[in-house]
């Protein structure tokens, strides 16, 4: 057979390697033009990830190798290899130091030197070559004459359009496997597209269903007692303008145009601030700041008092009548005698809600505080700062917190939002990301040391989701929150590499921290353990004590890496961190990472590395359509129990349009029954992302939406909460008989029975994702639940429902316990044994 390999025809929207086959080189049949057998993972999310001009060949190792050009700018190409053209190994992106860019790379083999020669063009019509023996190390690229460059690509007319690529001669078996892989992919995709809109048709013959559930307590097994937790990432304004209770936006005057993706000149030190009135100027200075980490501050130069500096907060400042607010500012008199400043909370309809006056007398930075008590409330007040005498003032860290923060902590968290998270009863909190943890480019890696200590000395930075991180909510506050809600802290730190989707400061992850900086980076991670757990006499333990927490935080877990590209850049850095942490702190459980998907190269390679290093837990991520979750409830059933445990660190069911409705929530509930069943290998799981401020979301769906005054948990939130409230540490297997055993029916009913051995409660969770009710008979054997008081909680409604809430009742079951599961419902029964 002839096999034609070519790149996606429309390179702007897709990327990847495609195939067409022919018996006679005349009539070509493409194998699923919409399906890429290999995708390039270089560069920023979306359109930057491109495969241009792939060049495919069989090397002396018997493997297919593919190299390609990545874009028309960078002096970089890509390489990977595969045994069957279907499963591909790691991608590497060797940098070329010659030429303006790398176009149309081709490969030849010199048997004399046992060397592969990679020749390429650049945009100046010059030709270059580099050589390699192993596709890991390359000789420096050198210019060659045009005559030494042979591009044997040809162009063909396929049904889909004209494509340029190479023709290879292969056995039919190769083509057959490619076709099979495509068909399997297509078949699976059709299953995963299933959703409740098709239920009327799919279940037209299904009028009722009866199910017998027989508990098998003799087969009970221990499961993780920390299965359900939360994933906190500073995305969607989850921190500043979110969980962090600070009400002033840009309090530090450190917003920068570069905080925004694509730079926004209006997003600068004056953002969210305006000056109203005459005879005062408002400028930004950076001479003699409070701290070099916080270089910008406001200067108010007043000739005749009257003007006010106004902060709009995050979509306005919510103020509650009768509540007290803590105002603070760092101020200095730059010119003029000591003078007073009036600070007010003002609503444009109601006028002044609260007021206080401060005296600024020092020529050096001085922190001043005032308490503002609101005589009236407003959902969108502003903060006004008004000099009452002439002169020049420097102002920085202008801050306003409600006194009523979560647990009353200074520099605390928004009470209603923190409580909503606490109500999930999470056994752990992962923070600060997600992609925020490994950052957009090397300079954006989240460094915990920049986020602790006095607020004015912390180092704010650009948030990769396109805004600003004041880091007022830093590692101390995260640890404190975990302690407050009885959850294990799970910090996730970069593995010395930034996000593979980075666009800032070099495309993608290939820019890992230089090896000569890795020692210091590893030490930073070891220091984190000392900060969290060390004695107050230790360097970092002392800093924690100075922040008000002499007792240790009892840190037990550290995540290293976040769904990274498992590359030759990643592996040595991860290994270095893992080994050093293990040696210095064997008591810490390290969580590794296995890529962003439930399959594919990073998943495979990540698991291989975890096996090699015996990483105790690995972090899996997958956002999938509901159909995926329905059809993959056996995902962990066959996981090898002797290998790493799993932390399913990010997951959510995504329907087209990404609504947060009952359908996705029930699908998640269904899948969670399978996670409990596999709770001996799945150690932890967290839905992602957790929080989103309305009008400031970069990702949807999220578990909890909010604005300045309201909290809006989604239906998925209640599923998480029901699992959190009803966790167990022992799993009781069940044998289930269905009156209708068709696969689509059986797959839409899930049952999980757990026992909490501390309370001796038996908990039965039952999910019905069918359009008909299910009569469920429970045979509990020796675990007698008949005639006992049970708490029954039911979440039900129409699949598209976004507002349905769980309803609780107390019931007593008869001798033959039968429970009716309504159509599209999640039922939890809880009973004391």
Closer to ligand AHR by CB, 435 or 495: give it.
435
Among 496, 689, 728, 750, binds ligand AHR (CB under 6 A): 689
d(CA 586, CA 580): 10
Kindly state the DSSP code that residue 405 receives in the 8-state scheme.
Answer: B
Least Å distance, CB 627 to ligand AHR, is 20
Which residue's Cβ has the minimum distance to ligand AHR? 434
Query: Measured at the alpha carbon of residue 481, what is the angle toward residues 477 and 487, in degrees to the nearest 5?
Result: 135
Closer to ligand AHR by CB, 30 or 593: give it.
593
CB distance 393 to 299 below 8 Å: yes
**ω into residue 432 within 30 of 0, thus cis?**
yes
Torsion of CA 181, 184, 186, 188, to 10 degrees: -140
Task: Return the closest-CA partner of residue 430 out of 603, 607, 620.
Answer: 620
Length of the chain: 833
150 alpha-carbon distance from chain centroid: 45
Among 224, 562, 674, 686, binds ligand AHR (CB under 6 A): 562
Q: What residues does 435 pair with on adjacent strands?
A: none
Considering the rule CB under 6 A, would residue 563 count as an interface residue with ligand AHR?
yes
Structure tokens at 513: 């921290």
Considering the rule CB under 6 A, would residue 564 count as an interface residue with ligand AHR?
no
Task: Return the closest-CA partner of residue 598 out of 624, 573, 560.
Answer: 624
Least Å distance, CB 683 to ligand AHR, is 19
Structure tokens at 797: 């409604």
Among positions 693-712, residues that touch ligand AHR (CB under 6 A) are 699
d(CA 59, CA 117): 12
Kindly write out the interface string for residues 211-240 of this chain, putting x where it contacts ligand AHR by CB under 6 A and - elsewhere. ----------------------x-x-----
CB distance 8 to 18 below 8 Å: yes
CB distance 648 to 675 below 8 Å: yes
Among positions 14-43, residues that touch ligand AHR (CB under 6 A) are none
Exposure string for 573-591, b = 16+ CB within 10 A, e = fewer: bbebbbebbeebbeebbbb
Between helix 515-533 and helix 475-485 the angle, nearest 10°, is 40
Among 620, 650, 668, 676, binds ligand AHR (CB under 6 A): 650
Among positions 513-532, residues that touch ligand AHR (CB under 6 A) are none
Considering the rule CB under 6 A, would residue 596 count as an interface residue with ligand AHR?
yes
The H or E element containing residue 183 is helix 172-192
Least Å distance, CB 318 to ligand AHR, is 27
Backbone CA torsion sign across 554, 557, 560, 561: negative
Among 688, 704, 780, 828, binds ligand AHR (CB under 6 A): 688
Closer to ligand AHR by CB, 392 or 692: give it.
692
Closer to ligand AHR by CB, 316 or 596: give it.
596
Among positions 419-438, residues that touch ligand AHR (CB under 6 A) are 433-435
Classify residue 195 as left (phi > 0), alpha (psi -120 to 50) or beta: beta
Task: Return the closest-CA partner of residue 392 out of 329, 327, 456, 338.
Answer: 338
CA distances (Å), 370 to each of 342, 354, 387, 502, 702, in order? 10, 11, 15, 43, 37
d(CA 69, CA 72): 8
Closer to ligand AHR by CB, 196 or 720: give it.
720
Closer to ligand AHR by CB, 298 or 435: give it.
435
393 alpha-carbon distance from chain centroid: 42
Closer to ligand AHR by CB, 381 or 435: give it.
435
CA distances (Å), 824 to each of 211, 349, 521, in order? 15, 47, 50
Considering the rule CB under 6 A, would residue 666 count as an interface residue with ligand AHR?
no
Least Å distance, CB 656 to ligand AHR, is 18
Give the position of tokens 């003699």: 288
d(CA 192, CA 185): 10
Kindly write out the interface string for residues 435-454 of this chain, putting x where it contacts ligand AHR by CB under 6 A and - elsewhere. x-------------------
Considering the rule CB under 6 A, would residue 192 count as an interface residue with ligand AHR?
no
Catalytic residues: 563
d(CA 797, CA 804): 6
CA distances (Å), 186 to each of 4, 34, 235, 412, 798, in order? 21, 10, 33, 50, 29
Give the position of tokens 């037209």: 204
Closer to ligand AHR by CB, 434 or 817: give it.
434
Closer to ligand AHR by CB, 372 or 652: give it.
652
Least Å distance, CB 585 to ligand AHR, is 25
Closer to ligand AHR by CB, 571 or 702: give it.
702
Structure tokens at 801: 């429902």
Closer to ligand AHR by CB, 149 or 699: give it.
699
Task: Return the closest-CA partner of residue 677 out of 720, 718, 633, 642.
Answer: 633
Closer to ligand AHR by CB, 16 or 689: give it.
689
**ω into residue 434 within 30 of 0, thus cis?**
yes
Closer to ligand AHR by CB, 562 or 768: give it.
562
- Taking the CA atoms of the chain, what radius of gyration do you get in angstroms? 30
Least Å distance, CB 646 to ligand AHR, is 16
d(CA 664, CA 195): 9
Least Å distance, CB 232 to ligand AHR, is 10
Q: Residues in contact with ligand AHR, total (CB under 6 A)?
A: 12
Q: Which residues bind ligand AHR (CB under 6 A)?
A: 233, 235, 433-435, 562-563, 596, 650, 688-689, 699
């Amino acid at each position: 057979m002839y096999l034609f390999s070519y790149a996606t025809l429309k390179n702007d929207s897709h990327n990847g390697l495609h195939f067409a086959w022919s018996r006679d080189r005349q009539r070509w049949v493409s194998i699923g033009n919409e399906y890429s057998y290999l995708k390039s993972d270089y560069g920023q999310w979306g359109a930057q990830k491109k495969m241009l001009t792939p060049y495919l060949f069989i090397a002396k190792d018997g493997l297919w190798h593919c190299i390609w050009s990545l874009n028309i700018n960078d002096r970089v190409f890509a390489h990977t290899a595969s045994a069957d053209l279907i499963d591909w190994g790691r991608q590497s992106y060797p940098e070329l130091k010659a030429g303006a860019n790398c176009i149309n790379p081709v490969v030849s083999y010199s048997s004399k030197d046992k060397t592969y020669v990679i020749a390429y063009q650049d945009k100046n019509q010059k030709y270059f070559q580099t050589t390699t023996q192993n596709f890991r190390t390359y000789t420096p690229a050198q210019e060659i004459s045009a005559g030494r460059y042979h591009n044997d690509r040809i162009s063909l007319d396929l049904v889909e359009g004209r494509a340029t690529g190479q023709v290879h001669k292969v056995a039919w078996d190769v083509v057959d496997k490619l076709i099979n892989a495509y068909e399997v992919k297509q078949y699976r995709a059709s299953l995963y597209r299933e959703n409740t809109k098709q239920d009327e048709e799919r279940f037209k013959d299904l009028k009722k269903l009866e199910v017998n559930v027989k508990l098998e307590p003799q087969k009970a097994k221990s499961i993780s007692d920390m299965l359900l937790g939360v994933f906190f990432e500073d995305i969607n304004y989850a921190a500043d303008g979110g969980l962090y209770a600070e009400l002033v936006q840009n309090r530090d005057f450190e917003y920068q145009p570069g905080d925004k993706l694509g730079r926004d000149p209006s997003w600068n030190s004056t953002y969210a601030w305006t000056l109203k009135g005459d005879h005062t100027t408002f400028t930004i200075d950076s001479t003699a700041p409070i701290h070099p980490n916080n270089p910008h501050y406001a200067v108010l130069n007043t000739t005749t008092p009257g003007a006010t500096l106004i902060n709009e907060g995050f979509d306005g400042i919510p103020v509650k009548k009768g509540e007290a607010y803590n105002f603070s500012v760092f101020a200095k008199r730059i010119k003029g005698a000591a003078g007073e400043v009036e600070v007010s909370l003002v609503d444009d309809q109601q006028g002044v809600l609260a007021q206080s006056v401060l005296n600024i007398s020092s020529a050096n930075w001085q922190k001043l505080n005032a308490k503002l008590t609101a005589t009236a409330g407003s959902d969108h007040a502003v903060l006004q700062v008004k000099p009452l005498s002439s002169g020049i003032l420097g102002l920085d860290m202008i801050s306003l917190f409600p006194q009523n923060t979560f647990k009353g902590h200074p520099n605390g968290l928004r009470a209603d939002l923190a409580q909503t998270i606490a109500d999930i009863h999470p056994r752990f909190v992962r923070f600060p990301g997600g992609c925020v943890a490994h950052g957009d480019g090397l300079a954006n890696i989240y460094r915990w040391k920049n986020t602790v200590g006095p607020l004015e000395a912390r180092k704010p930075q650009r948030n990769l989701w396109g805004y600003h991180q004041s880091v007022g909510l830093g590692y101390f506050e995260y640890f404190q929150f975990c302690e407050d809600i009885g959850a294990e802290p799970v910090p996730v730190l970069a593995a010395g590499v930034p996000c593979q989707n980075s666009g800032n400061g070099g495309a993608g992850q290939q820019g890992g921290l230089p090896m000569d900086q890795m020692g210091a980076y590893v030490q930073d991670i070891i220091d984190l353990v000392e900060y969290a757990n060390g004695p107050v006499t230790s360097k970092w333990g002392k800093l924690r004590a100075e922040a008000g927490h002499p007792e240790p935080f009892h840190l037990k877990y550290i995540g290293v890496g976040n769904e990274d590209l498992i590359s030759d850049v990643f592996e040595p850095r991860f290994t270095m961190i893992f080994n050093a942490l293990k040696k210095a702190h064997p008591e810490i459980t390290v969580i590794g990472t296995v890529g962003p998907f439930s399959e594919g190269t990073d998943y495979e390679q990540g698991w291989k590395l975890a096996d090699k290093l015996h990483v105790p837990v690995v972090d899996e991520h997958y956002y999938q359509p509901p159909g995926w979750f329905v059809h993959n409830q056996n995902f962990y059933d066959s996981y090898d129990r002797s290998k790493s445990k799993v932390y399913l660190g990010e997951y959510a069911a995504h329907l087209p349009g990404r609504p947060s409705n009952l359908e996705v929530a029930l699908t998640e509930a269904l899948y969670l029954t399978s996670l409990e069943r596999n709770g001996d290998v799945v150690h932890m799981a967290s839905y992602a992302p957790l929080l989103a401020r309305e009008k400031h979301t970069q990702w949807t769906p999220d578990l909890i939406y909010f604005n300045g005054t309201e909290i809006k948990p989604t239906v998925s939130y209640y599923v998480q909460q029901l699992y959190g409230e009803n966790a167990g540490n022992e799993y009781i297997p069940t044998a289930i008989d269905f009156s209708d055993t068709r696969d689509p029916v059986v797959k839409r009913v899930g049952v999980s029975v757990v026992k909490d051995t501390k309370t001796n409660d038996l908990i039965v969770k039952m999910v019905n994702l069918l359009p008909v009710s299910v009569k469920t008979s429970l045979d509990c054997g020796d675990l007698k639940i008949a005639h006992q008081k049970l708490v029954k909680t039911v979440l039900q409604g129409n699949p598209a429902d976004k507002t349905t809430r769980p309803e609780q009742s107390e019931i007593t079951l008869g001798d033959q316990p039968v429970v009716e599961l309504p159509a599209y419902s999640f039922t939890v029964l809880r009973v004391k044994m």
